[in-house]
Amino acid sequence: MARRTHKDVEYAVDDASGNQHTFKTFDEAAAFAVSLAGSGRSVNLDVLVWSEAGARAVGGDDGVEEYREDPDASVFQRLEVKVNFVGRVA
């Protein structure tokens, strides 16, 4: 994921109550998603892209090509975040 922000890119995560939280950076959204996933449920982190320029910022030329396939898609990319508790490590 892109480390920098772009005006046409947002990251969205729904909390346990179904309220959507949006972030300008992937790092902020990922931290929020992992904290929610720690409760034992899977969490979706959605990448929202509003233009070809935004798609380029996220995925380069491949991102633009993917965007052009369906520019009206509600979610450009969806990542499923899970935490797998493995117990103590000695």
Cα–Cα distance for residue pair 90/79, rounded to 1 Å: 31
Read off the amino acid at residue 7.
K
Chain length of the chain: 90
Task: Reply yes or no on whether the pLDDT at 85 is more than 90.
Answer: no
For residue range 38-68, list pLDDT tens digits in order. 999 999 999 999 999 999 999 999 999 999 9
User: Which pair of tokens denotes residue 74?
Assistant: 């509600």
Cα–Cα distance for residue pair 28/35, rounded to 1 Å: 11
User: Which pair of tokens denotes residue 59?
Assistant: 């995925």
Q: Are 32 and 21 in contact (CB under 8 A)?
A: yes
Helix (H, G, I), strand (E, B) or coil at 8: coil
- H helix runs in the chain, sequence order: 26-37, 52-69
Give me the percent of the chain exceeding a pLDDT of 90: 89
Confidence band, pLDDT 50/70/90 cuts, at residue 3: low
